[in-house]
Amino acid sequence: MKAAPLLKIARSQANWQCFLVHTGQHYDADLSDVFFQQLGMPSPDINLGVGSGTPTMQMAEIMLRFEKVIEELRPNLVVVVGDVTSTLACTLVATKLGVAVAHVEAGLRSFDRTMPEEINRVLTDAVAEYLFVTEPEAVSNLLREGRPGNRIYLVGNVMIDSLQQFLPLAQGSGIGQELGLTKGTDYGPFALLTLHRPSNEDSSDTLKMLLQAIERIADELPVVFPVHPRTHKELQKMGAGHHPQLRLTRPLGYLEFICLMSHARLVLTDSGGVQEETTALGVPCLTLRENTERPVTVTEGTNQVVGRDPERIVAAALQVLSGKSKAGGVPRLWDGHAAERIVEVLVREAPFRQGTASRAAPG
């Protein structure tokens, strides 16, 4: 969702040669292939095929394999997005080989160093030359960390570029009928749940505590839960997830998921991207974490950070369901044109050789 709008705009530049590199960190068909298909993205030019493993093993393999890509293509610029292991691994390789790095979604901070994503964000931003930012607080974070202001660009949110482009198509999805959420074409009330953070899944005690809260919410209305493969294994071990109104599904495609999200009365999540998308859609969101790296979704949007305490989660959910959800607006520059602004900056300032076909490799 972050790479698709960038790739489209970048490849519209007549003098750019762009290569899409897929590290293979996310390799499950339900979590990778379906997104390429639904977003209309071409197959990756290069797939490193890293696959599963510990974060250290994945990072080592990505770096070894991506180094060969850099040496072969000799790009002028590597663009990385987000905060996953691939983001940091490709950034370090490019930097070591003297290739400029642009980081899309720079400056976001939870200030929780127990989150692997936080380490990835901080280290990537420490060496990237072009820092593309989604919200004002991220600009402040980067300046506080000593990054020069002339390398920081508040451009908006590429996730919202994809959301705006594909939401009309998503509304034609039959996922509501498939899950029994509609009468005719009208959706009844339901909640949508996502969980994938290790801090919520890897501790059976934490997962049980969260499920207790979710089942109490499911007493009020159906709760749709697209289950990550890792979470599914934990639920099987626990013998949990059998509430009659808790509807466990396979991981959903992008179109099916944003269709459900746009119709939900309430979304419960530990995902940063979902916090942003619900804010853009005006849908109430409860974040099942103690912090967020996307504070604009709280200060301006529809998001509330409610932590993991079941009583607090249930109380906040019941307040939303009673019609007392917090009002929210869409942050500035979340207008569907972030990718265009990013490419404008790169056309103007990136270190492309004059007189030759330039090469940009969105990571």
DSSP secondary structure string for all residues of 309-351: -HHHHHHHHHHHHTT-PPP--PPTT-SS-HHHHHHHHHHHHS-
Amino acid at 257: F
Based on the fold, state whether residues 294 and 340 are members of the same structural domain. Answer: no
**Over residues 224-239, mean pLDDT:** 84
Residue 335 has pLDDT above 70, yes or no: yes
Cα(331)–Cα(297) distance, rounded to whole angstroms? 8
Catalytic residues: 196
pLDDT band for position 361 (50/70/90)? very low
pLDDT in the model for residue 237: 81
Based on the fold, state whether residues 261 and 127 are members of the same structural domain. Answer: no
Amino acid at 182: T
pLDDT band for position 359 (50/70/90)? very low
Based on the fold, state whether residues 112 and 33 are members of the same structural domain. Answer: yes
Q: Which residue has the higher pLDDT, 25 or 10?
A: 10
Based on the fold, state whether residues 344 and 314 are members of the same structural domain. Answer: no
Residue 356 has pLDDT above 70, yes or no: no
Based on the fold, state whether residues 283 and 347 are members of the same structural domain. Answer: no
Amino acid at 34: V
Range of the domain at 83: 3-156+334-362
Based on the fold, state whether residues 190 and 233 are members of the same structural domain. Answer: yes
Least confidently predicted of 45-59, 210-224, 258-272: 45-59
In a domain, 21, yes or no: yes
In a domain, 45, yes or no: yes
Based on the fold, state whether residues 294 and 258 are members of the same structural domain. Answer: yes
Least confidently predicted of 9-18, 59-68, 289-298, 303-312: 9-18
**Over residues 321-344, mean pLDDT:** 95
In order of 2, 50, 73, 90, 238, the CA distances from 127 in angstroms are: 21, 24, 21, 12, 43
Residue 41 has pLDDT above 80, yes or no: yes
Q: What is the pLDDT of residues 72-95, one digit of tens each?
A: 999 999 999 999 999 999 999 999
In a domain, 166, yes or no: no
Number of domains composing the chain: 2
pLDDT more than 70, % of the chain? 94
Instruction: Assign residue 147 the CATH number of its domain.
Output: 3.40.50.2000
pLDDT in the model for residue 29: 55
pLDDT in the model for residue 271: 94
In a domain, 230, yes or no: yes
Number of neighbouring beta carbons within 10 Å of residue 60: 14
Based on the fold, state whether residues 202 and 272 are members of the same structural domain. Answer: yes
In a domain, 329, yes or no: no
Based on the fold, state whether residues 27 and 74 are members of the same structural domain. Answer: yes
Report the helix count and the strand count for the chain, using DSSP H and E.
16, 16
Based on the fold, state whether residues 250 and 305 are members of the same structural domain. Answer: yes
pLDDT in the model for residue 70: 97
Residue 327 has pLDDT above 80, yes or no: yes
**Over residues 44-53, mean pLDDT:** 92
pLDDT in the model for residue 358: 41
pLDDT band for position 35 (50/70/90)? confident
In a domain, 328, yes or no: no
**Over residues 44-56, mean pLDDT:** 91
Least confidently predicted of 107-111, 197-201, 281-285, 340-344: 197-201
Cα(140)–Cα(328) distance, rounded to whole angstroms? 22
Cα(124)–Cα(127) distance, rounded to whole angstroms? 6
**pTM score of the predicted model:** 0.92
pLDDT in the model for residue 259: 98
What integer best gives the mean pLDDT of the chain? 92
Based on the fold, state whether residues 343 and 301 are members of the same structural domain. Answer: no
Q: What is the pLDDT of residues 135-189, one digit of tens each?
A: 999 999 999 999 999 999 999 999 999 999 999 999 999 999 999 999 878 999 9
pLDDT in the model for residue 32: 65
Based on the fold, state whether residues 82 and 177 are members of the same structural domain. Answer: no
pLDDT in the model for residue 30: 54
In a domain, 135, yes or no: yes
In a domain, 161, yes or no: no
